[in-house]
Structure 1
Amino acid sequence: MTTSTAPYADLTGPTLARRIMTAPTAGPLAALVLACAFFSLATDQFLSGGNFSLIIQQVMVVGTLAIGQTLIILTAGIDLSCGAVMAFGSIMIAKMAAEGTVPPLVAIALGLAVCAGFGLVNGLLVKLIPLPPFIVTLGMLNVAFALTHIYSKEQTVADLPSQLTFLGNTFPLGGTDVTYGSLVALALFAVFAHLLSSTSWGRHVYALGNSSEAARLNGVRIGRLTIGLYALAGVVYGIAALLLVSRTGVGDPQAGQTDNLDSITAVVLGGTSLFGGRGSVLGSLIGALIVGVFRNGLQLMGVASIYQTLITGVLVILAVTVDQISRKRTR
């Protein structure tokens, strides 16, 4: 009995440890833990429930954008328009509801539909013409940005109905105030993590990112899948728009101007490859938290915001460098 079970015990231990160490999220998670440890030693204010709640509130919008961005980057694409699309969705929802043009819930539904429309147009241009995702979404960024300022007339929309700001409300949890919007963002991560890891649709997404031709030969309808992914990403950007409105309590035409880059930063730091086919939305969540922790910790230490941007840029370059090296080693 002893000799028959020992080999299995020997094999299981190293295999489990190896899987944990080589998991795509292992590196980003280790970086997040080290960052938290550093800032907890550097400032007494960092290690508190209230501060962690603040970090989550600060990253929930960019984190939600990162979900849609992850879907696109997994296919070896990129979406530069996500922040501008979110801004247009938020100003549209806020203005229609504030002016009483339609009921608040209808305004939310229309905002989601319009954001999905932006994504659908991106997908059609990328797949049917076809055009490079970088060019298409760069152009759409400018379109959405211009429409935001035209529709808002450069004015911030205030006095929003309670239905639009509800997700910004908080409830006590373990002595810490948590927003309902944070729960929505975490639920979205859980849903998309399941879809990508445990469904045939998710396997098709990864197959498309690894090799579109191989995916096509295996029966994946790559055209429909690509277009659907961009449209679905647009819906996610619409949800981010609602979270933005609920958190700030206004419709701001200036919002989202750097969130496209922040979402890409979160995705890359989370271990998703810019070359497609590898990564996860849970990694993107960790990446968003890394950015949030660094900015929060540096702010508590009194470091100027320009240096926060500098450090974030360095982190992105390091993450892409690691990804490139790992790809060369696996060839």
Structure 2
Amino acid sequence: MTTPAPAPTPTERPPAPDPASEFIDRRTPVARLRGVLHRYPAISPGVVLVVAILVFGALNPHFLAPANLSLITQQVAVIGVLGIAETLVILTAGIDLSVGAAMVLSSVVVGNTAAGLHFPAPLALLAGLATGLLAGALNGILVTRLALPPFIVTLGTLSIFTALLLLISNGATVQGTKLPDLATWTGGTFKLAGVDISYGVVLMAALYLAVAYVLGRTAWGRHVYAVGDDKEAARLTGIRVNRVLLSVYMLAGAIVVIAAWTQIGRDFGSSPNAATDANLNAITAVVIGGTSLFGGRGNIWGTLLGALIVGVFRNGLALIGLDVLYQTLAVGILVIAAVAIDQWIRKVRK
């Protein structure tokens, strides 16, 4: 007598997924914070700026006075414009150590062509623009055609531009009284809510709006981010990487000339010794503003916040009586802290 075969056991089915599980964030609060900062890099510099304003306003009542706020905005204008140029380069995972020297070189060319060669102001400004474009093109060609590291290239052109500006100017300053009104126009002011706002600040704001639109709304802007995130992947998708890089350096060179024009208006003259710490402050503004030194992440508004933070810290520390040495020390600490935060944010799980 044969025994019947055992009935097959039903296969176990995996439990049905909970429809609500995808909406539950199981990460720790720290991980969630890191994710938010990764998506919105301008949050952290915004918080730092607000806290700094509140602290310095409490320590010295003169900090929030209209005259002092006007001074801060005028000081920020030059670094803010230079920061735009530096942001574009850093977004491509490069760096430009020559922006300050290129700015002073352009201002020297404008001053000496207007005062020494008696060029009309528009032609003098065009000569400055040509200088900035050539400086940017030189950096871009060395980076793209010779495949040299941006750090080494711009370190070398920093010395070249510095030598050229001293050669052209003979080490002499061109006073604003010898320059046409258009050359010093950026230093003029008008009142807004009791605060004197310079035309250089207005020019800076317009430039931020324009570059923010280009980076966020155009194919070229998306290509800049793609190149900075991964050059090889960008190349495989059909992006002409070298063309994008060259255009970035040339646009940065053109923006540097606007910074030079703003500097001439602020100083009411063209000096070869102007803005000796411009490179440090511009890079500081970009890094504090949340743009990653490794490229592909950041936005232009963060750079504006970073420039304001640098201006607020230098001004606030001066008002409470700290020496310039400690102001520079504070800026250095801010840079290290910003890079450390950037490294921490980059570890976020996508």
TM-score interval, normalised by the smaller of the two chains: over 0.9
Matched, 1:46 2:68: no
- 1:97 aligns with 114
- 1:143 aligns with 160
In the TM superposition, what is the alpha-carbon distance from 1:54 to its structure 2 partner?
A: 1.1
Distance 1:240 1:107 in 2: 15
- 1:82 aligns with 99
Distance 1:179 1:89 in 2: 21
CA deviation vs aligned residue, 1:146-195 (integer Å, no higher than 9, x gap): 00101001111112211111111111112221111100001101111111
Give the counterpart of 2:203 among 159, 184, 204. 184
Distance 2:66 2:265 in 1: 22
Distance 1:310 1:176 in 2: 30
- 1:4 aligns with none
- 2:12 aligns with none
Distance 2:187 2:107 in 1: 14
Residue identity opposite 1:84 in structure 2: A
Paired residues of 2:38 and 2:345 also in contact (CA < 8 A): no
In the TM superposition, what is the alpha-carbon distance from 1:32 to its structure 2 partner?
A: 0.3
Give the counterpart of 2:334 among 293, 298, 315. 315
Higher fraction of helix:
1
Distance 1:121 1:79 in 2: 12
Distance 1:251 1:106 in 2: 16
Q: Secondary structure at the match of 2:196?
A: strand
Structure 1 gap ranges (5+): 1-6
- 2:77 aligns with 60
Alignment of 1:120-199 (within 5 A): 120-158=137-175, 159-199=178-218
Q: Please give the TM-score of this superposition, normalised by the length of structure 1.
A: 0.93
Larger of the two Rg values belongs to structure: 2
Distance 1:174 1:165 in 2: 24
In the TM superposition, what is the alpha-carbon distance from 1:330 to its structure 2 partner?
A: 3.6
In the TM superposition, what is the alpha-carbon distance from 1:310 to its structure 2 partner?
A: 0.4
Paired residues of 2:288 and 2:334 also in contact (CA < 8 A): yes
In the TM superposition, what is the alpha-carbon distance from 1:48 to its structure 2 partner?
A: 2.2
Distance 1:21 1:238 in 2: 32
Q: Secondary structure at the match of 1:276?
A: coil
Matched, 1:263 2:285: no
CA deviation vs aligned residue, 1:112-135 (integer Å, no higher than 9, x gap): 111111100100000111100000
| Cα 1:200–1:105 shift into 2, 3 Å | same
Between the two proteins, what is the percent identity of the paired residues?
47
Residue identity opposite 1:58 in structure 2: Q
- 2:16 aligns with none
In the TM superposition, what is the alpha-carbon distance from 1:22 to its structure 2 partner?
A: 4.8
Alignment of 1:237-276 (within 5 A): 237-276=256-295
Distance 2:102 2:38 in 1: 37
Matched, 1:223 2:208: no
Distance 1:71 1:21 in 2: 19
In the TM superposition, what is the alpha-carbon distance from 1:91 to its structure 2 partner?
A: 0.7
Q: Secondary structure at the match of 1:84?
A: helix
Q: Secondary structure at the match of 1:237?
A: helix
Distance 1:316 1:19 in 2: 21
Distance 2:37 2:257 in 1: 35
Matched, 1:36 2:53: yes
Distance 1:263 1:29 in 2: 17
| Cα 1:216–1:50 shift into 2, 3 Å | same
Structure 2 gap ranges (5+): 1-19, 25-31
Q: Please give the TM-score of this superposition, normalised by the length of structure 2.
A: 0.88
- 2:308 aligns with 289
Question: Which range moved further: 86-95 or 250-259?
Answer: 250-259
RMSD: 1.8
- 2:324 aligns with 305
In the TM superposition, what is the alpha-carbon distance from 1:49 to its structure 2 partner?
A: 2.3
- 1:3 aligns with none
